[in-house]
Structure 1
Amino acid sequence: YMDDSFSYELASQKLYYPPCQCSFPEKQTCLLQLWDEIGLLHEKPKQLSGSRLTVIGFDVDPNAMSATLPDHKKTELVAHLRNFAGKGYRWSLQEFQQLAGWCEWSFNMFPLLKPGLSAVYEKIRGKTQPSARLHVNNTVIHELRWMADHVDRSPGLLFYKSL
């Protein structure tokens, strides 16, 4: 099931919602009142609104029509990519898989960087022992550094570049 709902509202269009003792955008308040009427439970901490929101770990700015990783997550990802790409390093298959999963999540914001994992997937293909140590070869090093450089410089997704 889906329990997320997104909409827009002018900042001036707010209604007071007594159960939470605060005001929300008008459409959100109406939705909460409907849920109250039909007995659908909802919690105050999940009722987000504002000019910038964090959605599944991404910073979404509807006014700028953009989305990106929070700065600390972006810095952490870039540092991890660069560390992983160290010459002569050996990482476990599980660590390779964790890196790939983290990068796949980041591709929601950086979809054009997907080719940067091709050498990682080639390296782990057919491997089944989670603790097996794998060398980081030159191709993996090159691709991970390429990804790190691009993530570091990327502003994230700009939904409409003409704005």
Structure 2
Amino acid sequence: YYAPYQCFFPAKQTQLLQMWDKIGLPHERPKQLFGSPLTIIGFNIDPNAMSATLPEEKKAALVSQLRLFAGKGYCWSLREYQQLAGWCEWSFNVFPRLKPGLSAVYAKIWGKTEAFGHLHVNTSIIRELLWMADHMHSSQGLLFYKSL
């Protein structure tokens, strides 16, 4: 039990907090997480399974957006391309092997500056985004292995 937060923590975490108090190191209650899984910057981190995954609802939303974006005959603004690329880049923290799936998107938007100018989706983009969506849908995320 850690009295300043009026909360139970694992024994070693409580000892760490008490040590921080003794040396005057500031800490905040909302940052004192424990358990399994932990949600950190939107990812589910399971220290017991040594894995990092996207929550199912976030993964489903991204897969859905990738498939929508890859529709034939669609055109999207430069800003929408950039938003999709940013969302995918964030997901690469747990799906690092899917990074090549944005190469056609980056080739398409390279050198463009008009945020609301519309760009058509070409076959390379369709192929790569659908590849990413399919692999992301079936992937369990990132597994960490304990080093010896």
TM range (shorter): over 0.9
**Unmatched tracts of structure 1, length 5 or more:** 1-15
Amino acid at match of 1:130: A
Instruction: Note the alpha carbon deviations across 1:38-82, whole angstroms, 9 max, x for none.
Output: 333322222110021011111011111111000110000000100
1:84 is aligned to 69
2:110 is aligned to 125
Counterpart-to-counterpart distance in 2, 1:87 and 1:135 = 9
Could you say what secondary structure the match of 1:101 adopts? Answer: helix
Amino acid at match of 2:36: S
1:144 and 2:138 equivalent?
no
**Unmatched tracts of structure 2, length 5 or more:** none
Q: Considering fraction of residues, name the structure with more helix.
A: 2
1:114 is aligned to 99
User: Please, which moves more after superposition, 30-39 or 125-134?
Assistant: 30-39
TM-score by length of 2: 0.93
Counterpart-to-counterpart distance in 2, 1:133 and 1:45 = 42
TM-score by length of 1: 0.85
Structure 1's consecutive aligned runs of 4 or more residues displaced over 6 angstroms after TM superposition are: none
1:3 is aligned to none
How many correspondences in the alignment? Answer: 146
User: Please, which moves more after superposition, 22-31 or 83-92?
Assistant: 22-31
